[in-house]
Amino acid sequence: MAYLFTSESVSEGHPDKIADQISDALIDNFLAFDADSKVACETLVTTGQVILAGEVKSNTYLDVQQIARDVIRKIGYTKSEYMFEANSCGILSAIHEQSADINQGVDRKTPEEQGAGDQGMMFGYATNETENYMPLALDLSHNLLKELAELRRENNEIKYLRPDAKAQVTLEYSDDNTPIRIDAIVISTQHDDFDEEAAMLAKIKKDVIEILIPRIIAKYPVYAHLFNDKINYHINPTGKFVIGGPHGDTGLTGRKIIVDTYGGKGAHGGGAFSGKDPSKVDRSAAYATRHIAKNLVAAGVADEILVQVSYAIGVAKPMGIFIDTYGTSKVNLTNGEIAKKVEAIFDMRPYFIEQRLKLRNPIYSETAAYGHMGRTPEVVTKTFSAPGGEEKTVTVELFTWEKLDFVDQIKTAFGL
């Protein structure tokens, strides 16, 4: 019997995502000037206020207030009527030095012996239902909001948009787990004040259906067959949405972990990513398991794969690796046998994950909105400034865990 599945995304102007982006900007700045920095930074945003907290072990000093203001400005909070504005918001820093008790579990005499920064389990997932091996409902939700942000910045066809927004897509699947069509789209977007609420709601709905949706279809033609005239649209279903962003809701780092990963597909170990340097396996091992799952599916081992890895704090070797192919395996092996082969191909000790995926680089700001997974690997040059006037320009590779660089090795190992 056909069934429905839903995923959601949030925009870069959502309060929780503002917090994530500030935390990851701090990570990037620390790593740019000291690649060995150990950082765990949390951010809280509310009306006119940003609070930074966390633990740091680094040889560099940063102007954390300026970094936070730059992030807020880039997102688009630049007007006083938003009640949260880059130049005027208060910023309180309560960042202190990392606990020596935690650090002793990570640092070792040789880098290869580096222990996991915490205990826990991390999951990676991939499916061949999209070109980027991501769940389709989540991919659509991200792209709807990215395009809405483009319209906001263009300030051309739609002139009333504000930064805060959420999107949700419900897909209908066939009995054989193939997405057939979009059943429903929910979009709530913050907007400027209107004189008349009914006219406002009618205009926003019309603009979403007649401007945003055609742009999505044109930009992502692979999705075109999913759109139909029976889609149930819920556009700003509560009505007026003028009060938004941190003035409407308090935002915290790490509260959008399902948006950050697979939209409810697969599984999640519970640990957030943003604000953590790669010694924290919550982040690095989640990227590594995504890298494994994507390469396994791309190599033809299965149509859909979940990979779990688990750690003890201070211990380098994982407690175990688990594989679930959901009955879609194309090889004559059990899930346990597939896991053994994966363990032989991918060294999942923290140091080797960092080296393989080049994680001790300032590559994290780009991950903090619109998902950490399913993104396009690219090489970029970035410049960072320190309080003393020092500048650091670095060329880095983004989203290395999305590279299909182990497909041939996997095919050889599995005889494909």
Ramachandran bin of 93, using left for φ above 0, alpha for ψ from -120 to 50, beta for the remaining angles: beta
- Residue stretches of the annotated binding site: 14, 16, 42, 55, 98, 164-166, 240-241, 249, 255-256, 272, 276, 280
- Residue stretches of the annotated binding site for K(+): 42
CA angle at residue 17 from 218 to 198, to 5 degrees?
65
- Residue stretches of the annotated binding site for L-methionine: 55, 98, 249, 280
Q: Give the CA distances from residue 266 to residues 124, 134, 139, 195, in Å, rounded to whole numbers and listed in that order.
A: 8, 10, 14, 45
CA-wise closest residue to 286 among 259, 261, 265, 264? 261
- Residue stretches of the annotated binding site for Mg(2+): 16
| Torsion angles phi and psi, residue 119, rounded to 5 | -80, 170
- Residue stretches of the annotated binding site for ATP: 14, 164-166, 240-241, 249, 255-256, 272, 276
Q: Give the CA distances from residue 14 to residues 231, 246, 298, in Å, rounded to whole numbers and listed in that order.
A: 25, 8, 33
Separation of alpha carbons 369 and 170, rounded Å = 21
Q: Do 88 and 48 meet the contact criterion of CB atoms below 8 Å apart? A: yes
Give the number of other CB atoms < 10 A from CB of residue 92: 12
Q: Which residue's structure tokens are 């205990």?
A: 119
Tokens for 295? 């390469």
Q: Do 167 and 208 meet the contact criterion of CB atoms below 8 Å apart? A: no
